[in-house]
Amino acid sequence: MKERVFNFNPGPSALPLEVLKEAREELLNYRSTGMSVLEISHRSKEFDEIMAQAVARVKSLMGLTDDYHVVFMTGGASSQFFYAPMNLIREGETADYINTGTWSTKAIAEARILGKSVNVAASSEDENFTYIPKEFNFSPNPAYVHITSNNTIKGTQYHSFPDTRGAPIAADMSSDILSRVFDPAPFGLIYAGAQKNIGPAGVTLVIIRDDLAKRSPETLPTMLRYSTYVAKNSLFNTPPAFAIYFANLVFKWIESAGGVAAVEKVNNEKARLLYQAIDQSGFYRGTAREDSRSKMNVTFRLPTEELEAKFIEDAAGEGMGGLKGHRSVGGLRASLYNAVGPDAVRALVSFMGEFERRHG
């Protein structure tokens, strides 16, 4: 079996080795059922326990009060781009969006396809989405204010969330959920595709406040209403059972690591090491504005595209994968999600120094 690499993939991405081993051990015979977790009924007591644990762990890890519902859906975060406006913008209402790049742009487009009224309250398009806006032009009473908390492609991240004057924030947190502590009180909706900090692709975590869940219009098809998932505890139909099972193991792993606060401390140090290596070099150049840099996705360039290709090739030879930038922007990107250990970052920094010595 090939030795495991340091995995800097942007998603699907690194998963905790301990969790992979636990899932492997339970794969053929889950808790003495004589069946794989891939085979047990989603109506069984065993799966009921998995679901209950997953919900309870998310609430505990994120400090959610009882008026928040935790549900598991499919379709990825991209499906939430239409779920949110379809369910939450009522007749005559406007939703505000802050545009910080590709995923925000897509979310705005989906709301407009539905014929919803959208106000772009701020945008960083004027500088190619290399920063997070700090000044906003909010509507008088928006249905919600939508943000993308971390931007995987451009490598930017909110370090503090906007004051929306009481309007609920709806946040795509796919790439930084459970990576840092924050106050959930201003948020009415949080959603995240699993394949970065939660688990394997196939399930989407959705956290919705009760007052927003009640907005779902009955004129929508049943499976397009948030209220359906809330009322049926994500079990109206067969959910992505294995992905939920695996996510529950990841939530347990975060608990055992000391919770989100402890994970955040490690994440801060990983990002500090890598940005320091970039900033102290005349060879590497970060692409995001310093006050908006992501701690999850570090984007940078080399003097030429030829050197970037050589960097990716040589890094792979040294057991480091997933460093190629998004196809829309090129360059390099190191994704430092929760399961990427400090040892991986130290190895990358060491390689960067050696590569600069050879080619700088």
Is pLDDT above 90 for 49? yes
Residue 308, CB half-sphere, CA atoms under 13 Å: how many?
20
Instruction: Identify which of 305, 260, 306, 296 has the alpha carbon closest to the alpha carbon of residue 275.
Output: 296
Measure Cα distances from 26 to 32, 107, 190 in Å: 9, 38, 31
Contact 8, 344 (CB under 8 A): yes
What average pLDDT does the segment 175-201 reach?
Answer: 98
pLDDT digits (tens, 9 = 90+) for 302-351: 999 999 999 999 999 999 999 999 999 999 999 999 999 999 999 999 99
- Domains, the chain, in order of start with CATH, read 18-256 (3.40.640.10), 260-359 (3.90.1150.10)
What is the residue-averaged pLDDT of the chain? 97
pLDDT for 2 equals 56
pLDDT digits (tens, 9 = 90+) for 111-164: 999 999 999 999 999 999 999 999 999 999 999 999 999 999 999 999 999 999
Measure Cα distances from 62 to 17, 57, 159, 171 in Å: 23, 8, 17, 14
Q: For residues 119 and 108, what is the distance between their CA atoms, to the nearest angstrom?
A: 9
**CB within 8 A of 261, min separation 6: which ones?**
181
pLDDT digits (tens, 9 = 90+) for 202-244: 999 999 999 999 999 999 999 999 999 999 999 999 999 999 9
Residue with tokens 């975590």: 205
What average pLDDT does the segment 11-33 reach?
Answer: 97
Contact 234, 51 (CB under 8 A): yes
Q: For residues 124 and 133, what is the distance between their CA atoms, to the nearest angstrom?
A: 6
Q: How many helices (H) and strands (E) does the chain have?
A: 10, 14
β 187-193/285-286 pair status? unpaired
pLDDT for 234 equals 98
Is pLDDT above 70 for 1? no
Q: Is 303 helix (H, G, I), strand (E, B) or coil?
A: coil
What average pLDDT does the segment 15-26 reach?
Answer: 97
Q: Structure pTM?
A: 0.97
Identify the band that residue 3 occupies on the pLDDT scale cut at 50, 70 and 90. confident
Per the omega criterion (within 30 degrees of 0), is the bond before 168 cis? no
DSSP strand E in the chain: where? Answer: 6-7, 68-73, 94-99, 117-123, 145-148, 150-151, 156-157, 169-172, 187-193, 204-209, 285-286, 297-301, 320-321, 332-335
pLDDT digits (tens, 9 = 90+) for 255-301: 999 999 999 999 999 999 999 999 999 999 999 999 999 999 999 99
Query: What letter does residue 197 receive in the DSSP assignment?
Result: T
Active site members: 103, 172, 196
Q: How many CB atoms lie within 10 A of CB 159?
A: 12
Single-letter code of the amino acid located at 12? P
- Annotate 7-76 with DSSP letters as a single string: E--SSS----HHHHHHHHHHSSSGGGSSS-TTTS-TTSHHHHHHHHHHHHHHHHHHT--TTEEEEEESSH
